């Protein structure tokens, strides 16, 4: 009685296989849909040096457009309902220090606008000042060319970070006033300074935060529930250039302290600063290091305003260019971005990271030139949407481009 079953079984299997094949033929082939949606950029050709900022319900993009080698125009645009509005001009200049890594910035606080450019102070290559521009709420025009620092030395001043702070702005920068040559071959060190600037551009308070730092890495800052913090690349007498933090607690600034001892010894500035994101007293700090000749991007979390950081999470390693950014999604997760090199092409990537160490798959945002002109890509978050800005270079012509994606589109294994 088992014989019919043995005879029918192969036929049944064959029928099922044929049926599956026929069904598969009827199903339409799925097309891959990119999770990255490009936006119409408000920037024109020959634009570069983008900077993104978001504060409450205001999101701004600033950039620089150049005409030949003589005229530079600093512009910005506002994001409204997911679209960039027409560009507005802040000011023009013919004597600015235009640098791929040290870019102008814009910030907003309760309707007040603040921005800065770097202006040459002498004919020397590396002597320039930070000049502020402000547009208080209700004003019809920008007040430009305002002084941030008053040392008057023909030295480097730059690598600014700015945050809305109460009714004013917290601004920090690298200050080269001590690097002016005082004896043949003798110079002091680059310092880290900060101040509180009013909506009309007046310096209310000024601080010296560190007497010796790396000369040309970006700084980054945040306002925690305890007060402002500044994160930057330090420089020891032994040329260790790790990422440090200084914090204002009860009105006093703490002694500079390493976030993590990578022990990266390098006799030169890597031009690759950290980025910080804040959510109450929760901090997320991303940075690049080349310690032990191993290039990598790391991310560390703190839950106490930066007093103590957890062990860093490895984000990427290999042919890493760094140029990082980081944003909180919620109190349990953040998004970090960075650049990698791939055969003369730079790949701009992002990844979601949870505070417990869980990570998403790496998401490619775009590819671009691996030259300095590609600059430092930017990232901001508005509700559940990430916005990106970067500089595209095609046959030596640059243009700022922008795109967006939903945080829900990150994939997990």
Strand locations in 370-396 (E): 378-382, 385-394
Residues 6+ away with beta carbon under 8 Å from 399: 41, 43, 44, 45, 46, 47, 48, 391, 392
Nearest Cα to Cα of residue 349 among 358, 359, 357? 359
Q: Please check whether residue 124 is in contact with residue 93, taking contact to mean a CB–CB distance below 8 angstroms.
A: no
* Ramachandran bin of 403, using left for φ above 0, alpha for ψ from -120 to 50, beta for the remaining angles: beta
Query: Which residue has 């200049």 as its token pair?
Result: 93
pLDDT in tens, 121-171: 998 888 999 999 999 999 999 999 999 999 999 999 999 999 999 999 999
Element containing residue 253 per DSSP (H, E):
strand 252-253
Distance in Å from the first CA to the final CA of the chain: 49
Domain annotation for the chain: domains and CATH numbers: 50-212 (2.120.10.10)
pLDDT in tens, 192-204: 999 999 999 999 9
Which DSSP symbol is given to 409? Answer: G
343 three-state secondary structure: coil
pLDDT at 15: 38
User: Would you mind telling me the total number of residues written for the chain in this entry?
Assistant: 413
Provide the mean pLDDT of the chain.
Answer: 91
Q: Please check whether residue 219 is in contact with residue 152, taking contact to mean a CB–CB distance below 8 angstroms.
A: no
pLDDT at 407: 96
| Rounded Cα–Cα distance for residues 322 and 361 (Å) | 18
Global pTM value: 0.90
Question: Which tokens go with 279?
Answer: 């959510």
In angstroms, the Cα distances linking 160 to 224, 278, 376 are 19, 18, 14
Residue 382 scores a pLDDT above 50: yes
């Amino acid at each position: 009685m088992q014989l019919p079953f043995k005879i029918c079984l192969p036929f049944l299997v064959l029928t099922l296989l044929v049926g599956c094949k026929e069904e598969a033929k009827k199903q339409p082939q799925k097309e891959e849909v990119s999770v990255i949606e490009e936006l119409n950029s408000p920037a024109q050709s020959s634009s570069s040096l983008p900077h993104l900022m978001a504060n409450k319900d205001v999101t701004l993009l600033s950039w620089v457009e150049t005409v030949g080698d003589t005229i530079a125009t600093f512009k910005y645009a506002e994001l409204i309902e997911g679209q960039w509005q027409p560009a507005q001009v802040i000011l023009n200049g013919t004597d600015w220090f235009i640098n791929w890594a040290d870019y102008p910035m814009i910030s907003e606080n309760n309707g007040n606008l603040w921005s800065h450019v770097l202006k040459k102070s002498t004919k020397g290559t590396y002597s320039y000042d930070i000049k502020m521009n402000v547009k208080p709420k209700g004003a019809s025009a920008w007040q430009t060319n305002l002084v941030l620092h008053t040392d008057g030395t023909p030295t480097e001043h730059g690598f600014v970070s700015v945050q809305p702070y109460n009714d004013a702005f917290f601004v920090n920068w690298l200050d080269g006033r001590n690097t002016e040559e005082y004896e043949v071959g003798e110079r002091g060190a680059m310092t880290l300074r900060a101040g509180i600037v009013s909506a009309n551009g007046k310096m209310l308070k000024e601080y010296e935060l560190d007497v010796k730092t790396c000369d040309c890495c970006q700084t980054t800052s945040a306002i925690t529930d305890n007060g402002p913090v500044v994160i930057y690349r330090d420089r020891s007498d032994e040329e260790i250039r790790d990422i440090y933090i200084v914090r204002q607690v009860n009105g006093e600034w703490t002694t500079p302290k390493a976030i993590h001892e990578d022990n990266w010894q390098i006799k030169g500035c890597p031009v690759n600063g950290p980025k910080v994101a804040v959510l109450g007293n929760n901090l997320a700090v991303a940075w690049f290091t080349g310690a032990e000749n191993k290039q990598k991007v790391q991310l560390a979390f703190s839950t106490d305003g930066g007093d103590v950081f957890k062990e860093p999470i490895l984000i990427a390693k290999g042919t890493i260019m760094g140029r990082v950014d980081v944003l909180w999604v919620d109190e349990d997760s953040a998004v970090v971005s960075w650049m990698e090199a791939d055969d003369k092409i730079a790949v701009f990537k992002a990844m979601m990271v949870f505070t417990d160490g869980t990570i998403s798959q790496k998401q490619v945002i775009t590819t671009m030139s691996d030259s300095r002109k590609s600059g430092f890509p930017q990232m901001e978050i508005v509700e559940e949407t990430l916005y990106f800005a970067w500089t595209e270079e095609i046959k030596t012509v640059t243009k700022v481009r922008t795109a967006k994606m939903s945080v829900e589109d990150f994939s997990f294994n």
